[in-house]
Amino acid sequence: MRHFYYLCFLLLGFLSLPVRAGGDNRAPEQYTKEYIMKDYMKDPVRTLQLLDKAEVNSAMPLNIVDELRSAVYRNMYRNKSALHYARRAYVSDSLSHDNPSHLLRMTVSMAELFSLLSEYKESMRYAVQGVELARELKDIQSECKLLFCMGENKRRLSFKEEGYLFFDQAIDLLDNSKNEDYETMLSYFYGVKMGYLIADKRSNEALEIGLQREKLLDRMSEQSKIRADLLDLQFAYVYSKLAYLFHLMGDQKRAAVYYKKYQSTNAASTPDGKFDATPYLLLLGKYQAVLDNCRDFKEVMRQQDTLNSQYLSILNLEIQANVKLENYKTVINLQRDITAIKDSIYQREKQNAALELDALYELNEKEARISEQAFQLKIRTITLICILSGALLALFFLWRLWHQNCVIRNKNKALVKRINEQFSMQEEMDRSQLGVEKDLSFPEKVEDESGDNEEQDKQMNKMIFEKLDYIIKRDKMYLSPDLSREELTRIVRMNNTRFAKMIKENTDTNLNGYINNLRLNYAIHLMKEQPDYTLRAIAESSGINSMPTFHQLFKGRTGMTPSEFKNAQKDMDS
């Protein structure tokens, strides 16, 4: 308990520290928004580290730091983390009321992120608020973003025509402004609407808007202020979709021309860019290429902290390709995955509705408590005591967990040391055994035991087993997962009954136990000699194809799991 008291005193001392005064808040060059965000797409981890330092040094306002964090996480497809920091910045702006433009930016982020997380009701609520604020501030870009977000929400809620009306409002507003600064956003809106038109099988409209976007991109490419990598991404998308549409409408020649243009872009070699071309490849009957592109993009999507409709579109394309390849078992599994994801989204929407009612109830309770200042003071005091008690309790449990982990690690080290000693002795015995040449001939046929001379039979069994054991270890036959009893009985020319008795007499176990013991010895050898190997690679190299079986056998033999053994071995080596 002495350690626990130390932790308590440390916590109380930490809570009693005064807040550091402002000091010199001048931001050095590396803590400016432009410097931090210039490489956030290529190196998001470094960008997040810079933002952490900027917050610690108070080099930037906290709401700006949270806005930039949200942007980085969103680019990493970690939308829940992005929403967390966007909400923090939004709440800060809402309380301060000193920067309406930044509040509008965060409102746009909240609407878009809630939409990406399939929480459409919340997204619409923030979008409606944002449109009103954007019109007050005469911010056309923000208004268009929110209108387009509302259109996407309507479409995902199956109100497709209403969705297209919102899309057209946003596009017309940008197009009529005749402002070159809005062309990047206009191109993006063209691309998204084109994708939706394709999904709704409105090919003529999709082709028309695709050709409009191509002209817009050609015009944008003449402007030096447009980043070349962003233009390349947009060209790749529009070329791949135009190839698909022309092929769909029977103009294979123009389709091939646009596909060649798509292949000339840098984005065509990225997972996102490859996925753009999958509908066209599906029409061409290149089903394996479709599956390869989907697999690469799924690896990117799996880095997300949530699953949404974009992931469902990948699964649907995989289903179409697998149906053509007659992989019906895979199709069934993919359909089950889609059903499970849709059920998850539905349950999340129900939970959000319940949370909204709970939030309204808490708001009413808060208003009632305003008139009861004395009671409010008491509640605050109790809350502070509870938080402090909870923190102390958490520290106690953390200490207990740390102590328990230390005990387990020490026990594992002792086990590993004992196992290594036994293993070294066994290796030495095996080397000495294999270093002696033996007569490896077996009797033409080993007769069944007569029972008249049991001691002679045992001696015969021992002699035959030693030769067989020598061959198995020398040739490492145990590493083959297909090693069978029949193969070994053929070597020793013995029937199954006597073979089983011979193994039992000389190993105190059955054939599976004997072979698995050799495999585990080899697995321990690999863990020591090849510490960088994965557990699956070690298991398969040792002749055990099933990971559950490997874990069960290893724990039964050593008293710890393979990962525990491997970590303990690393601790001993370091």
Residue 26: CB atoms within 10 Å: 7
* Sequential pLDDT tens for the chain (574 residues): 455 455 555 555 544 444 433 344 444 566 777 777 777 777 888 888 888 888 888 888 888 999 999 999 888 888 888 999 999 999 988 888 888 999 999 999 999 999 999 899 999 999 999 999 999 999 998 999 999 999 999 988 889 899 999 999 999 998 888 777 788 888 888 888 888 898 888 999 999 999 999 998 888 888 877 788 888 888 898 999 899 899 988 999 999 999 999 999 998 888 888 888 888 888 888 888 888 888 877 777 776 655 566 777 788 888 888 888 888 888 888 888 888 877 776 676 566 445 434 433 443 453 355 346 657 777 888 888 999 888 888 888 888 888 887 777 777 777 777 777 777 777 777 666 666 666 677 776 666 655 567 788 888 888 888 888 888 888 888 898 888 888 888 888 888 888 898 899 898 889 999 999 999 989 988 888 888 889 999 999 999 989 999 999 998 888 889 988 888 888 777 6
CA pair distance 35, 59, nearest whole angstrom: 13
Residues 241, 283 contacting (CB under 8 angstroms): no
Residues 207, 178 contacting (CB under 8 angstroms): no
Radius of gyration of the chain (CA): 34
Write the single-letter amino acid at 506: N
Architecture of domain 29-261: Alpha Horseshoe (1.25)
Tokens (6 digits) for 251? 């103009």
Torsion sign over Cα 534, 540, 545, 550 = negative
Q: What end-to-end distance do the CA atoms of the chain give, in Å?
A: 31
Residue 326: CB atoms within 10 Å: 9
Residues 465, 503 contacting (CB under 8 angstroms): yes
Concatenated DSSP letters of 253-299: HHHHHHHHHHHTSGGGGSHHHHHHTHHHHHHHT-HHHHHHHHHHHHH
DSSP SS3 for 241? helix
Residues 204, 197 contacting (CB under 8 angstroms): no
pLDDT at 182: 82
Tokens (6 digits) for 286? 């290149």
Architecture of domain 428-441+453-569: Orthogonal Bundle (1.10)
CA 43 from centre of chain:
18
CA pair distance 213, 219, nearest whole angstrom: 10
Residues 294, 314 contacting (CB under 8 angstroms): yes
Among residues 230, 258, 235, the alpha carbon closest in space to that of 245 is found at 258
CA pair distance 498, 491, nearest whole angstrom: 14
Residue ranges covered by each domain of the chain? 29-261, 428-441+453-569
Tokens (6 digits) for 23? 């000091």
pLDDT at 435: 60
With a threshold of 0.75, does the pTM exceed it? no
CA pair distance 522, 475, nearest whole angstrom: 13
Burial 5-18 (b: 16+ CB within 10 A, else e): eeeeeeeeeeeeee
Write the single-letter amino acid at 46: R
Among residues 534, 510, 538, the alpha carbon closest in space to that of 526 is found at 538
